[in-house]
Chains A and B, each alone.
Chain A
Amino acid sequence: MYRQMQTMRRMEMAADALYKAKLIRGFCHLAIGQEAVSVGLEHGITKDDRVITAYRCHPFAVLRGGTIKGVIAELLGRQAGMSHGKGGSMHIFTPSFFGGNGIVGAQVPVGAGVSFAQKYLGQKNCTFAMYGDGASNQGQVFEAFNMAKLWDLPTVFVCENNKYGMGTSAERSSSNTEYFKRGDKIPGLQVNGMDIIATKRAVEYARNWTVNEQKGPLLLEFVTYRYGGHSMSDPGTTYRTREEVQRMRSTQDPIRGLQRYIEEWGLATEQELKALDKTAKAEVDAAVEEAKASPEPLIKDLWTDIYYKGTEPPFMRGREREEVHYY
């Protein structure tokens, strides 16, 4: 877990550097500071459980069966990207991870539908539908709550509360900032999202609640913190002080927290952990180089994957007047 958190942080830092080097264009939302949520979640569930989220999806994509190279290449818009370079930051998928999503809140009812299919098929699995404190005010989140409780679906609604919905603090956007209480008849738990032991245990509890005990949906609120801005174009310091970010980094950091546990319990030495840090960095560096080497998507792929092959319209217009693609 320590190595994975460190690797995820290194990957996001690499993305940060690539963005600043203007190699990643468009949107890029980093999850630095929130590693305990993604890694803790992955360690509390099984491979066949499903996860769906919106922004800050890079770590989930890797942990759910993707690769660092696949994520970085997707951000770079290369063929080796997990969506062949056609998606970008919020559009990375694996067979058990239904991706990020650019429309905050839209993934939540989709997650309810996914868990309905699990229930219908009698699978012993559940779906984690994740959203942020900002998205929690979207109407369709409540629509999904209602359907999930009405039909007792195995949905775990996970609110990643990083205290800021883009640049607006939770207090200024939500009449009730205790997000775990907003599920009406769906019980909720508030969890320290900066402590990976807590997130892992909470996820195991939620999985047991929905799958083994079949008690219907559950709401988890992970209280966490993002060190960076909302996206790369947001310095993240206009709506909160540098001191606040510094204080969270020095007192609440999820990786340092786990490090402290490990050292206190005598599970590994500082040297051994340092070695892990090094392998994480080397792994990410190698993946970045591989991703950079991947070519950009072919022009023909501009028109693929719109309709199922063979059922397309006769033609689709292209980038300019003369460029019309005939199927």
Chain B
Amino acid sequence: MLTTTFPASTRAARRALSFSRRWNSTSAEPPPPGGHLPSIATSKVLRTTRETALRTPGIVWTDEDASGPSREIVGGRETRKMNTYQAVRDAMSIALSKDDNAVVFGEDVAFGGVFRCTMGLAEEFGRERVFNTPLTEQGIAGFGIGLALMGHTAIAEIQFADYIFPAFDQLVNEAAKIRYRSGGTYNVGGLTIRTPTMSVGHGGLYHSQSPEGFFMGASGLKVVIPRSPIQAKGLLLGSIRDPNPVIFMEPKVLYRSAVEQVPIDDYELPLGKAETLVHGSDLTLLTWGTPVYHCETALHMLASPGPSLEAHIPKSLRSAKIELIDLRSILPWDVETITESVSRTGRLVIVHEAGMTAGVGAEISAEVQRRCFLKLDAPVKRVTGWDTPVALQYEKFHIPDAIRIVDALVETLTY
């Protein structure tokens, strides 16, 4: 191993330089091998016991009368340990068994799909109902729209969210607008497009993008991104049964790494509602999908920084109470929950993997500053991917990590 020695003065100068740059740079130092604790595997956000899983906020059991008084019935219900792809598969299995007009199609789904989300569905429900399509994203979307126009439940998979762009016209011009332009004669409420999204660490330009922001202006569509297996199952069943077309984006790095005890019964979670994961009063930290876990890590770093970070996090901030919110539905987004929170905390940091310019954070921060203008103590801060393509070798630096989030928290808290 080569060792290079610098004169003490040069070293000091470098350290000073790196310190002064800290506020604008991605991170003070690369994360240690294995990542900062807690990782996804040990996340407190995940519900790993039956009791907590069955008490997931907002859960609606479909075998209960929705119009009756809400009850927290836990007894008699079972859970099973599942990762996200198994939970997604479970949701589709329920949809297929309860609805004869439901079909699942996409590239390679009959073999289980790239991420195994459809494993065994073709064997269980037949190849007429779970079938492969050609590599033809625009065709898949158009085909699904036609199917949904006939009143069918079309569950289509676009193999990677990066491949959704060829289908963009069909989704924005047809799926989103058909109800409006036909004056209510037709709709494609039965259409759900599933697609794996966000970075995987080594996806590169066409396998790590987060295109949710491109759909923000497409009123008529809904966009949903779950953070965990329980959320994935409940939100996917909610999306499939929602009477509007839904784009359901599954964070691909969570397919295997996020594991929870998932209720085996049929249940839904509400669309259009954010969930507050950690309550706080000093700053609102808003995110969705994979960065939920980076944010959780950042909260730990803020509260008890390791030796390498200690110098950078003022002692007065370590007891700050940060409110962590998972947005879950990107379109329409839960403006009430977010503005209520920001009105209390006076500070907002938004974290997403897509680039900053005209990302989802731009829309949210514009609306928040309008509604909470006099309540804000600091400018809304966005921690996002850069406005560059997601280049393979730079992916770690592209995607917001816990260090960048801590940096934003400190900056916003000390503004």
Contacts and interface: CB of A to CB of B under 8 A. Distances in A.
Interface of A: 52, 81-87, 91, 93-95, 98-99, 101-103, 106, 108-118, 120-121, 139-140, 143-144, 146-147, 150, 304-308, 311-316
7 contacts: A87-B182, A95-B185, A106-B174, A110-B170, A120-B101, A144-B139, A146-B139
A151 B95 CA distance: 23
B145 A113 contact: yes
Contacts of B150: 113-114, 117-118, 121
Given A106-B174, A139-B138, A305 B184 contact: yes
Contacts of A85: 183
B187 A110 contact: no
A304 B180 CA distance: 7
Contacts of B136: 143, 146-147
B134 interface: yes
A313 B335 CA distance: 9
A77 B242 CA distance: 30
B335 A110 contact: no
B335 A112 contact: no
A241 to B, nearest CB: 35
B179 A306 contact: yes
Given A102-B173, A113-B148, 4 more contacts: A86-B180, A86-B183, A147-B134, A307-B220
B372 interface: no
Interface in B167-202: 169-170, 173-174, 179-187, 189
Contacts of A304: 184
Nearest to B180: A305
A313 B333 CA distance: 7
A116 B133 contact: no
Interface in B318-336: 331-333, 335-336
B128 A93 contact: no
A83 B183 contact: yes
B146 A87 contact: no
A83 B139 contact: no
Contacts of A87: 181-183
A106 B142 contact: yes
Contacts of A312: 332
Given A106-B173, A313-B272, A112 B182 contact: no
A93 B146 contact: no
Contacts of A102: 173
A313 B147 CA distance: 25
A308 B146 contact: no
Contacts of B144: 113
A120 B154 CA distance: 12
Interface in B82-110: 101, 103
Contact of B143 (A93, A110, A307, A308): A110
B169 A103 contact: yes
Contact of A106 (B134, B169, B333): B169
Closest 6 CB pairs of A and B: A113-B146, A109-B142, A313-B332, A143-B139, A83-B183, A117-B150
Contact of A109 (B139, B148, B222, B333): B139
Nearest to A116: B147
Q: A95, A102, A120, A312 — which one has the most chain B CB atoms within 10 A of its CB? A: A120
B243 interface: yes
A304 B184 CA distance: 9
Interface of B: 101, 103, 128, 133-134, 136, 138-139, 141-152, 154, 169-170, 173-174, 179-187, 189, 219-220, 222, 242-244, 271-272, 331-333, 335-336
Nearest to B156: A113
A230 to B, nearest CB: 20
Nearest to B152: A117
Given A103-B174, A311-B242, A311-B243, A140 B138 contact: yes
Contacts of A146: 134, 136, 139
Nearest to A108: B142
A113 B187 CA distance: 14
A111 B189 CA distance: 17
A93 B182 contact: yes
B136 to A, nearest CB: 4
Contact of B173 (A103, A117, A143, A150): A103
A316 B179 contact: no
A144 B134 contact: no
A84 B150 CA distance: 21
Contacts of A314: 332, 335-336
B219 A109 contact: no
Contact of B142 (A81, A110, A120, A313): A110
A96 to B, nearest CB: 11
Contacts of B271: 311
B103 A120 contact: yes
Contacts of B134: 143, 146-147, 150
B23 to A, nearest CB: 35
B146 A116 contact: yes
B181 A91 contact: yes
B149 A113 contact: yes
A146 B143 CA distance: 12
B180 A306 contact: yes
A83 to B, nearest CB: 3
A112 B146 contact: yes
A314 B152 CA distance: 28
Given A83-B183, A86-B183, A307-B220, A109 B138 contact: yes
Contacts of A112: 139, 142-143, 146
Highest count of chain A CB atoms <10 Å: which of B154, B222, B332, B333: B332
Contacts of A91: 181-182
B243 A308 contact: yes
A313 B337 CA distance: 13
Contacts of B332: 307, 312-314
A313 B149 CA distance: 23
Nearest to A150: B134
Contact of A110 (B133, B149, B189, B272): B149
